[in-house]
């Protein structure tokens, strides 16, 4: 972040427009400096959410097809850059950006060309997108525009859609998943391709969201503190909802795979998780006396998003240890 170049008034205006829910009404990018200020601040936070989602895809062993990437509603272009950073610019045939703002497309193209000089970068909408990236666009679309966008998404080969982890965004993504799941393989976050378990009776208060982690350095960085104070933002919290679908077939996950939703609630002798698997979305309990070292990690906030559990009723009775848990266990015993 370069404080000298940040237009704080522009950021305050953007934040106000977002909070008032009026961002969809008209193009709010006034000049390239607006985009640069956004790119150094809000877009960084969105980039950490993308890193979380892309890391999840890597853990799942998913790789993109060799095709063109379209960043729809690109803003400053953080989604396209995060994707290319993760998979490599040489794994795709090019990057296309699209936004209702031509200033945004110019900014996104310029920054992508600088970062990936070998890559073909252009703007505009193809008839049918190949790898479609969508990031933080839902709150700016009317229901009719969302409907139209879902029709466009249906034409894609792959869609990676990242939104704020709010109730409204999550429920909209779930509705889009329900509408399109017969045409795609569902890759993430769902460990199954059936109807979303959040939609089951009794789960009305839940939504599908997860938490990305910001780089630890920002908590001691005075520039990020200034940003957080001025914008009224809690730097620690990065809630994210996302949906990844692919037209290519995909092997089903094991019936023992669970996706943890939200944060675990930790009590004295047990932890409670809301988790999703092919049997639905339910609360599960991990008891300290069953899994002392795992419980200790959970207390520290170390919970791998995907778990392999055996359960009896609501109680977790078996955990198939994953590599990251083994590493956590080693850390744990080293610090004792």
Ligand X SMILES: C[S@@+](CC[C@H](N)C(=O)[O-])C[C@H]1O[C@@H](n2cnc3c(N)ncnc32)[C@H](O)[C@@H]1O
Q: Using CB under 6 A as the criterion, which residues of the chain lie in contact with ligand X when the complex forms?
A: 24, 27, 43, 46, 73-76, 78-79, 99-101, 104, 135-137, 140-141, 145
Closest to ligand X by CB, 52 vs 284, is: 52
Least separation in angstroms between residue 47's CB and ligand X is: 8
Q: Let me know: does 239 contact 164? Beta carbons within 8 Å.
A: yes
Least separation in angstroms between residue 42's CB and ligand X is: 7
CA distance 147 to 142: 9
CA distance 174 to 157: 19
CA distance 113 to 77: 11
With H, G, I as helix, E, B as strand and everything else as coil, classify residue 211.
Answer: strand
Tokens 């429920």 correspond to 171
Least separation in angstroms between residue 190's CB and ligand X is: 22
Least separation in angstroms between residue 263's CB and ligand X is: 23
- Which residue's C-beta sits nearest to ligand X? 75
Closest to ligand X by CB, 50 vs 184, is: 50
Closest to ligand X by CB, 161 vs 309, is: 161
Residue 78 gets which letter from DSSP?
Answer: H
CA distance 127 to 73: 16
Secondary structure E strands in 223-279: 239-246, 257-266, 270-277
Least separation in angstroms between residue 80's CB and ligand X is: 9
Closest to ligand X by CB, 242 vs 309, is: 242
Least separation in angstroms between residue 146's CB and ligand X is: 10
Half-sphere exposure of 217 (CA within 13 A, CB side): 3
Q: Tell me the angle at which helices 102-115 and 78-87 cross, rounded to the nearest 10 degrees.
A: 20
Least separation in angstroms between residue 81's CB and ligand X is: 10
Closest to ligand X by CB, 37 vs 307, is: 37
Closest to ligand X by CB, 74 vs 316, is: 74
CA distance 255 to 278: 7
Closest to ligand X by CB, 51 vs 332, is: 51
- To the nearest 5 percent, what fractions of the chain are helix, strand and coil? 40, 25, 35
């Amino acid at each position: 972040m370069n404080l000298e170049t940040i237009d704080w008034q522009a950021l305050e205006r953007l934040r106000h427009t977002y909070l008032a829910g009026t961002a969809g009404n008209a193009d709010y990018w006034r000049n390239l400096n607006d985009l640069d200020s956004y790119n150094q601040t809000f877009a960084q936070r969105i980039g950490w959410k993308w890193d979380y989602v892309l890391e999840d895809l890597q853990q799942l062993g998913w790789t993109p097809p060799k095709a063109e990437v379209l960043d729809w509603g690109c803003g400053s272009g953080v989604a396209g850059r995060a994707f290319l950073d993760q998979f490599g610019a040489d794994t795709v045939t090019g990057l296309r950006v699209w936004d209702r703002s031509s200033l945004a497309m110019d900014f996104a193209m310029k920054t992508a060309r600088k970062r990936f000089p070998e890559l073909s970068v252009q703007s505009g909408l193809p008839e049918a997108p190949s790898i479609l990236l969508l990031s933080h666009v839902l709150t700016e679309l009317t229901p009719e525009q969302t409907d139209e966008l879902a029709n466009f998404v249906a034409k894609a080969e792959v869609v990676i859609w990242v939104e704020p982890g709010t109730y409204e965004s999550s429920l909209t993504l779930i509705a889009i998943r329900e509408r399109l799941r017969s045409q795609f393989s569902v890759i993430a976050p769902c460990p199954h391709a059936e109807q979303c378990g959040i939609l089951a009776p009794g789960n009305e208060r839940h939504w599908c969201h997860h938490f990305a982690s910001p780089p630890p350095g920002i908590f001691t960085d005075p520039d990020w503190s200034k940003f957080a104070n001025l914008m009224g933002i809690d730097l620690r919290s990065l809630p994210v909802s996302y949906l990844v679908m692919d037209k290519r077939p995909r092997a089903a996950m094991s019936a023992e795979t669970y996706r943890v939703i939200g944060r675990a609630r930790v009590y004295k002798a047990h932890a409670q998780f809301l988790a999703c698997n092919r049997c639905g979305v339910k609360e599960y309990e991990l008891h300290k006396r069953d899994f002392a070292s795992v419980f200790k990690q959970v207390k520290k906030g170390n919970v791998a998003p995907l778990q392999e559990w055996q359960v009896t009723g609501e109680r977790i009775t078996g955990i198939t240890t994953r590599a990251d848990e083994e590493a956590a266990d080693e850390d744990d015993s080293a610090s004792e």
